[in-house]
């Protein structure tokens, strides 16, 4: 018998009506009932819950959610039930399919000088939203910083996502990933992708670290894994997580090549190849050649200005002078031109899918 038992109390007006509902309909077991001559309280347990049904309790009936691997086999396939005491019971999938919202295309420019607020998020990290309208919920792009370095109060966790990128913009951070061996340091200019549901943990960060994080879709679930310890015993760098391989791209090992946009060269991170074309990530620099109008055929085309300055010309729009820390999204088939680029211009470009 454990030393501590926690119970959720729910009210009832007639206990005898609730007993068959919680034991038969929901498949819970009755652990306690009293007094014997006129029962006023019964305790039921099951499905990770311990419920105390008490006659005349002051709380409202409440709602219970039960998640099942095969919800059609539970409660005769019902997805919503109401107990005699008024408690609602919702039946849902244990692992619901990931839904990717249809992209609502828009031309977005987000400038650091506009002083968008920094919001304190998970593990004390500060977030700045780079795509406020989230393109209809299809993507989130965050500029994340940790002013004071040191150990990060993180736990082993995973994300239910279609695609997720972590690009180290400033400083460094120590990370560890499932099946990828010992912890490693992610330096500025390098990036990783976190394939769907790969377990990982942020360990230690430098002072004033900044990263760019991309997530698809915009709203996705983060789940804590209390059972796994990292690093784990298995090392399998070629493992695929829902079709995607883990990637740790290192800038000093990259090969520069011409970019489709005239006047720019790029280093490819191999992310498109390792995700089966789900997404592509490249770093662009200015090279010889005059800028010309360019149209893309991607569903999502996001760019973050890592260094330098440029003027963004968009079809039917006023030009935007951009600098380090700014970001923009270009919808498909919109003619744009990157003009007046400084010699130190460096751009992080993320496209979905990875190839047209």
- Which residue in 227, 214, 218, 151 sits closest to 183, CA to CA? 151
What's the whole-model pTM score?
0.89
Kindly report the average pLDDT of the chain as a whole number. 94
For the chain, give the number of residues: 356
Q: 243: alpha, beta or left, given left = phi > 0 and alpha = psi -120 to 50?
A: left
Q: What is the mean pLDDT of residues 137-164?
A: 94
> Using one digit for the tens of pLDDT, what is the confidence trace for 209-249?
999 999 999 999 999 999 999 999 999 999 999 999 999 99
Residue 28 has pLDDT above 80, yes or no: yes
Do residues 251 and 267 make contact, with C-beta atoms less than 8 angstroms apart? yes
Domain 108-247, CATH homologous superfamily name and number? Jelly Rolls (2.60.120.10)
Do the domains 8-93 and 253-352 sit in the same CATH topology, yes or no? no
> Using one digit for the tens of pLDDT, what is the confidence trace for 284-336?
999 988 889 999 999 999 999 999 999 999 999 999 999 999 999 999 999 99
Separation of alpha carbons 16 and 85, rounded Å: 10
According to DSSP, the β-strands at 336-339 and 119-120 are unpaired
Percent of the chain at pLDDT > 70 equals 98
- Please give the class, per CATH, of domain 8-93: alpha beta
> Using one digit for the tens of pLDDT, what is the confidence trace for 254-274?
999 999 999 999 999 999 999
3-state SS class at 124: helix
Q: Verify cis geometry, omega within 30 degrees of 0, for the bond prior to 231.
A: yes
Domain map (residue ranges) of the chain: 8-93, 108-247, 253-352
Do residues 339 and 311 make contact, with C-beta atoms less than 8 angstroms apart? yes
Q: What does CATH list as the number for 253-352? A: 2.60.120.10
Q: Over the range 219-240, which residues count as b (16 or more CB within 10 Å of their CB) and which as e?
A: eeeeeebeeeebebeeeeeeee
């Amino acid at each position: 018998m454990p030393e501590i038992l926690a119970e959720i109390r729910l009210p009832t007006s007639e206990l005898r009506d609730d007993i068959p509902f919680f034991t038969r309909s929901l498949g819970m077991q009755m652990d306690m009932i009293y007094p014997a001559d006129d029962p006023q309280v019964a305790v039921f347990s099951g499905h990770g819950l311990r419920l105390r049904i008490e006659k005349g309790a002051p709380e409202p009936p409440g709602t219970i959610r039960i998640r099942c691997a095969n919800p059609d086999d539970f409660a005769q396939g019902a997805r919503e039930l109401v107990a005699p005491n008024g408690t609602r019971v919702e039946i849902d999938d244990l692992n619901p399919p990931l839904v990717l919202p249809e992209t609502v295309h828009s031309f977005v420019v987000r400038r650091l000088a506009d002083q968008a607020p920094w919001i304190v998020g998970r593990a004390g990290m500060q977030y700045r939203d780079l795509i406020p309208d989230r393109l209809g919920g299809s993507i989130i792009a965050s500029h994340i910083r940790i002013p004071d370095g040191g150990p990060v109060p993180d736990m082993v966790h995973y994300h239910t996502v279609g695609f997720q990128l972590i690009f180290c913009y400033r400083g460094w951070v120590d990370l560890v990933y499932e099946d990828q061996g010992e912890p490693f340091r992610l330096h500025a200019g390098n990036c990783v992708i976190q394939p769907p549901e790969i377990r990982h943990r942020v360990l230690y960060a430098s002072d004033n670290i900044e990263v760019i994080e991309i997530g698809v879709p915009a709203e996705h679930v983060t789940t804590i894994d209390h059972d796994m310890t990292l690093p784990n015993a298995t090392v399998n760098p070629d493992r695929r997580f829902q079709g995607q391989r883990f990637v740790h791209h290192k800038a000093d090992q990259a090969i520069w090549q011409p970019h489709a946009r005239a006047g720019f060269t790029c280093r490819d991170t191999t992310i498109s190849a390792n995700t089966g074309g789900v997404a592509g990530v490249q770093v662009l620099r200015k090279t010889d050649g005059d800028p010309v109008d360019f149209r893309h055929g991607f569903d999502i085309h996001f760019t973050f200005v890592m260094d330098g300055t440029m003027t963004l010309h968009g079809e039917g729009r006023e030009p935007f002078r951009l600098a380090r820390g700014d970001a923009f999204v270009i919808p498909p088939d919109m003619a744009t031109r990157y003009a007046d680029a400084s010699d130190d211009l460096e751009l992080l470009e993320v496209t979905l899918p990875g190839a047209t």
